[in-house]
Amino acid sequence: MNSQHILIIDDEENMRHMLSVMLSRQGYRVELAANGGQGLDCLKNNAYDYILCDIRMPEMDGKTFLQQAMEEHVTTPVIMMSAYGTVETAIECMKLGAYDFISKPFKRDEIVMVLKKAEERERLKEENSHLREVVAGRFSYSGILSRNSGMQEIFNQIKKVADLKTTILVLGESGTGKELVARAVHLNGRRSQKPFVAVNCGAIPENLLESELFGHVRGAFTDASSDKEGLFEQADGGTLFLDEIGETPLALQVKLLRVLQEGEIRRVGDAASKKVDVRVISATSRDLAADVGTGCFREDLYFRLNVFCLQLPPLRERVEDIPLLAEHFMSRHGSGSDCQVLRLEPDAMRSLMAYRWPGNVRELENVIERACILSEGGRITSSSLPSPVRLLDESCPDESENDENLSIKKAEDAIERDLIRKALVKTGGNRTRAAKILEISHRSLLYKLKEYDIE
């Protein structure tokens, strides 16, 4: 039996009576209010599964009720009932976060249908959020989300080296998550209780970098009015993250190499040196090997830093992560929006999947954050996306005019085909292992190979 609790807000006595009788018969527990104000009072003392609310009412109308309920962060789905002449208001209410609306006069079945539909949607929502949790658990490591096999391999490598003192070099384009990876190494190793100190070697003026890293003693130079501890000492026992290592001036590269080899630092102006126990992780978006070739980076330091290398793939090479990350950033940035549930419409998703993301995950995060602000009624459409992302299709008009390009099915097929190819390349054509990576059965892989005509 249905024991869902419904609040009905309507100023017309007949309407309240009719709905009450009908819905009680359907097994709902019904409560009645004659205007928005009474409705709000009911909300103070009770939790409801659904609210049915008329729009035109004296004292407090439906829209005002909805606005106030939203301000109070009421999450109960509100279904507006609009009579002749209030349909526009009903649409405004949808934008404000109403769940649905039904036009008066309605037949008995209609209202039940709307409620069943809402129930179904709620159930799916719950299922989705559960699914989301499962996915997040399975496809995340220390806050790094990815379902890409290359990234999963990186998670494994992090687990293996985290506890060691091995020097690590993290490579990857800007915004691929290098700092996140460095932190994950630190947090999962036995140094996690000690400091993680990050320094951007490209952001500190050359003349200050040495004293920043190694510290200085009083009087070492004009401004040195007292002794100062450097970042190596601050990170003692923990991890020092040298970001943008490729920007380190050559003169300092020599000193850095010595510190790494000897495990001792010497403050600027100090005669004595001091032991430090620091794990060094460095990162760069430059092609460091090429810099070695052109003499901009010392080869000996390069080898010293590059004992263990983690190369992060750019986002465009792991498109399967885009929906996962988009969802993640929506839940992170969507909480400020006026709707509880944000939804990415298929057109928006298509644009996100097709874009090349030169700024990688950071750029995606910024785009989603902006889209959350621009979203209306909880929907993110492609018009909430910045033009470079959105206009991708329009830049090749011949294609976009074709209906085929609007097909989600086709786009999904294309992605699926691509993933299968990649899995086969990665496993050297081993179908059993490819099926494992793809997380589908061997049988369905064979079926898909045939369907997509892949050798």
Ligand X SMILES: Nc1ncnc2c1ncn2[C@@H]1O[C@H](COP(=O)(O)OP(=O)(O)OP(=O)(O)O)[C@@H](O)[C@H]1O
User: What does 298 bind: ligand X, Mg ion, none (CB cut-off 5 to 8 Å by kind)?
Assistant: none
Q: Is 350 among the residues that bind ligand X (CB under 6 A)?
A: no
Q: Torsion over CA of 359, 339, 376 and 116, rounded to 10 degrees?
A: 120
Subset of 111-150 contacting ligand X (CB under 6 A): 144-146
The DSSP H or E segment spanning 140 is strand 140-141
Strand-pair partners of 287: none
Q: Is 422 among the residues that bind ligand X (CB under 6 A)?
A: no
First to last CA, the chain: 54
Assign 240 to helix, strand or coil: strand
Q: C-beta of 419: minimal distance to ligand X in Å?
A: 18
- 396: tokens are 């090749």
CB atoms within 10 A of CB 37: 15
User: What does 204 bind: Mg ion, ligand X, none (CB cut-off 5 to 8 Å by kind)?
Assistant: none
Closer by beta carbon to ligand X, 201 or else 435:
201
Assign 373 to helix, strand or coil: helix
Instruction: Give the DSSP letter of residue 404.
Output: G
Stretch that binds Mg ion, among 2-10, 143-151, 174-182, 290-298 (CB under 5 A): 174-182
Binds Mg ion (CB under 5 A): choice among 12, 179, 236, 291: 179
Assign 100 to helix, strand or coil: strand
Binds ligand X (CB under 6 A): choice among 177, 189, 246, 378: 177
User: What does 146 bind: ligand X, Mg ion, none (CB cut-off 5 to 8 Å by kind)?
Assistant: ligand X
Closer by beta carbon to Mg ion, 269 or else 314:
314
Q: C-beta of 418: minimal distance to ligand X in Å?
A: 20
Q: Is 174 among the residues that bind ligand X (CB under 6 A)?
A: yes
- 419: tokens are 């993933």
Binds ligand X (CB under 6 A): choice among 121, 286, 343, 362: 362
- The candidate with the shortest Cα–Cα distance to 191, out of 278, 87, 116, is 278
Stretch that binds ligand X, among 185-193, 218-226, 361-369, 430-438 (CB under 6 A): 361-369
Binds ligand X (CB under 6 A): choice among 175, 189, 230, 378: 175
Stretch that binds ligand X, among 18-26, 209-217, 251-259, 357-365 (CB under 6 A): 357-365
Q: Using CA atoms, how far apart are residues 314 and 318, in angstroms rounded to an integer?
A: 7
The distance of Cα 133 from the centroid of its chain, to the nearest Å, equals 13
Binds ligand X (CB under 6 A): choice among 36, 97, 172, 313: 172
User: Is residue 411 classed exposed, middle or buried when 0-12, 13-18 and 19+ CB atoms within 10 A define those classes?
Assistant: middle
Residue 330 and residue 336 in contact, taking contact as beta carbons nearer than 8 Å: no
Q: C-beta of 131: minimal distance to ligand X in Å?
A: 18
Query: Which residues contact Mg ion by CB under 5 A?
Result: 179
Which positions lie near ligand X, rule CB under 6 A? 144-146, 172, 174-180, 285, 325, 361-362, 365
